[in-house]
Amino acid sequence: MLTFDPFNMDDLLKSHKILMAELTNEAGRFCFGGVGVFAGEKLVHMAPPADVIPKLISDLIHWVKTTDTHPLIKSCVFHYEFEFIHPFADGNGRMGRMWQTLLLSRWRPIFNWLSVETLIRERQQEYYAILAVADKAVDSTAFVEFMLRFIRDALNDLMLTEQVREQVTDQVERLMSALGSETLSTKELLERLGLKHRPTFSNNYLRPALELGLIEMTVPDKPNSSKQQYRAVKRNSD
């Protein structure tokens, strides 16, 4: 994806051809007829006539390339307008989300690590609902605000993950490796780590892992319980 130029319509068509090659006979070409978006049997959005789509997409790409609007905002506006134009017979949602990621990554490389497609998957219903709100209002503001909040939250999560990663010492990494997916006592962990000095284990291994929220106690209300064991904290996958 990084080899595509987000301001080049030929690259847009080429990427659609690659993405949709095995899913539609119209991969890499703008639609030839009217395209509607349906919820069940109800028409919720009718795309512009097919004969004006190339001009609309060309104008949109020109605008996003030349506007002084902040890159975050213009990427969201592009995303919304692309979905409104709905230039392809299939794959419009994936293309719009992918192109926003491409626009953002050209502005700041950190966005190479934040796929809009992956993020939207977590809040898909809300995403489609806000698109419908913007369509009804004939105004992209609600959608832009939603996406900006979405991007902000994702960046905050990424920064937190990086901060935790930077704080993880070699000792904590060794502890997490020794613990794995099991639930173990202090004695068992000492044996696996080849340690005998409990204060060293507590200060350099156990306490930092607890403070970083990487592990948890099985008896949290009684830290010194003789039955105390430790396990890795389960985290939701992206």
pLDDT at position 113: 75
Q: Indicate if 72 and 185 belong to the same structural domain.
A: no
Query: Taking each helix axis from N to C terminus, what angle separates 124-137 and 71-85, rounded to the nearest 10 degrees?
Result: 80
Q: Indicate if 135 and 219 belong to the same structural domain.
A: no
Q: Is 96 annotated as a binding residue?
A: yes
Establish if 14 belongs to a structural domain.
yes
Q: Is 90 annotated as a binding residue?
A: yes
Q: For 77-112, how does the pLDDT look when each residue is reduced to its tens digit (9 = 90+)? A: 999 999 999 999 889 989 999 999 999 989 987 787
pLDDT at position 1: 58
Taking the C-alpha atoms of residue 238 and residue 59, their distance in angstroms, rounded to an integer, is: 35
Establish if 118 belongs to a structural domain.
yes
pLDDT at position 45: 54
Q: Check if the beta carbon of residue 82 is closer than 8 Å to that of residue 99.
A: yes
Q: Indicate if 46 and 150 belong to the same structural domain.
A: yes
Q: Indicate if 202 and 150 belong to the same structural domain.
A: no
pLDDT at position 215: 92
Q: Indicate if 126 and 88 belong to the same structural domain.
A: yes
- Residue of 45, 70, 86, 197 with catalytic role: 86
| CA-CA-CA-CA dihedral for 45, 49, 54, 56, to nearest 10 | -60
Q: Indicate if 16 and 80 belong to the same structural domain.
A: yes
Q: Is 80 annotated as a binding residue?
A: no
**In the structure encoding, which two tokens stand for residue 99, read together?**
């192109």
Q: Is 86 a catalytic residue?
A: yes
What is the domain range of residue 61?
A: 9-164
**3-state SS class at 193:** helix
Q: Where does residue 93 fall: left (phi above 0), alpha (psi -120 to 50 degrees), or beta otherwise?
A: alpha
Query: Can you give the CATH number for the domain in which 38 is found?
Result: 1.10.3290.10
pLDDT at position 49: 83
pLDDT at position 173: 86
Of 136, 164, 192, the last residue of a domain is 164
Number of Cβ atoms within 10 Å of the Cβ of 225: 12
* Residue with the two structure tokens 């001009």: 55
Helices (H), 108-221: 116-121, 124-137, 141-167, 170-179, 186-193, 198-201, 207-211
List Cα–Cα distances, 175 to 58, 123, 178, 194, 216, in angstroms: 56, 35, 5, 11, 13
Q: Is 93 annotated as a binding residue?
A: yes
pLDDT at position 206: 93
Q: In what order do the strands lie in the sheet with 229-232?
A: 183-185, 229-232, 215-217
Of 147, 164, 181, the last residue of a domain is 164
pLDDT at position 183: 95
Segments of the chain scoring below 70 in pLDDT: 1-2, 33-47, 160-168, 235-238
pLDDT at position 8: 96
Q: Please tell me the pTM assigned to this model.
A: 0.66
Q: Indicate if 23 and 130 belong to the same structural domain.
A: yes
pLDDT at position 143: 96
Q: Indicate if 73 and 177 belong to the same structural domain.
A: no
Q: Indicate if 159 and 185 belong to the same structural domain.
A: no
Number of domains in the chain: 2
Query: Can you give the CATH number for the domain in which 223 is found?
Result: 1.10.10
